[in-house]
Structure 1
Amino acid sequence: MLINRLSFFNYVLSIERGYKYFTRYSYFYFINSKARKGYGYGLDWIWIEIRRIVEP
């Protein structure tokens, strides 16, 4: 299965937009707000790691 590099990056960007919208209106926002206070890692930390790999 071949993946076009351009379509892959568009897919990643659409995930980023959907992620910011989704976390604002779900229980993941609660998890992330807890993580910012030091209760855990949360999805924000994971997404930063993903961005570090995808965007050099």
Structure 2
Amino acid sequence: MSSENKIEPGDVVKLSGAPNLHMTVDHISGNDVTCIWFDGSLHTISHKFSLSALVLVKKKGH
């Protein structure tokens, strides 16, 4: 993965199989990426995903 496509904290990502769910990267530890997002009731959800399951949508600040 090139540096411009490298997923980093603050980036917006989605699961490769769920294109409508955009999440913000909170923390990365090795190949584990913790993401946060809001559910339909605006509750914050946090979950850990494998780096290989995520697709970069937008870099932080862009």
Q: Which has the higher contact order (CA 8 A, sep 6+)?
A: 2
Give the alignment's TM-score, normalised by structure 1.
0.24
Larger Cα Rg: Structure 1 or Structure 2? 1
Greater helix proportion: 1
